Amino acid sequence: MDTAEIIVVIAGVSLIAFVLWYFFGERERTSATVSESGVQEIKVTIKGGYSPDVIVVRKDRPVRLNFYRDETSSCSEQVIFGDFGIARDLPAYKTTPVEFTPDRAGEFTFTCGMNMLRGKLIVE
């Protein structure tokens, strides 16, 4: 193999590694911060996806997820926590708090109204 071929192979392997990491890799877990009043709070920015998209909270303590929708894409105009029976409209370029108290531990998916954008709420 000459140098050009080796470079192509390395580039190809790195691309495959990136794709595997992107789709199957461990997502970054972000814990909510607890305010003085005991509310677990976290800001989630929405721009083509949820950021952070894996949120860790504690069970039986109130949670306030502040969704900031940084786009007008109709995809993200709603956020749904099916397991907790919550659906909220999110106006563009505004922060919308979603408040509830998780009464069960586990991993719960939250999505946009079309089930395209996805995030995970981990209750511990």
Fill in the amino acid letter for 16.
I
Cβ-based nearer residue to Cu ion, 9 or 114: 114
Q: Does 80 bind Cu ion (CB under 5 A)?
A: no
Q: Does 19 bind Cu ion (CB under 5 A)?
A: no
**106 phi, psi to nearest 5 deg:** 145, -170
Candidate list 112, 119, 121, 123; residue touching Cu ion; CB under 5 A: 112
**99 phi, psi to nearest 5 deg:** -120, 135
Site size toward Cu ion, by CB under 5 A: 4
Closest CA to 116 of 78, 84, 86, 88: 78
**75 phi, psi to nearest 5 deg:** -55, -40
- Residue 59 corresponds to which tokens in the numbers above? 């069970």
Convert residues 25-64 into a mask of x (bound to Cu ion by CB under 5 A) and - (unbound). ----------------------------------------
Cβ-based nearer residue to Cu ion, 13 or 116: 116
Using CB under 5 A, list all residues that contact Cu ion: 75, 112, 114, 116
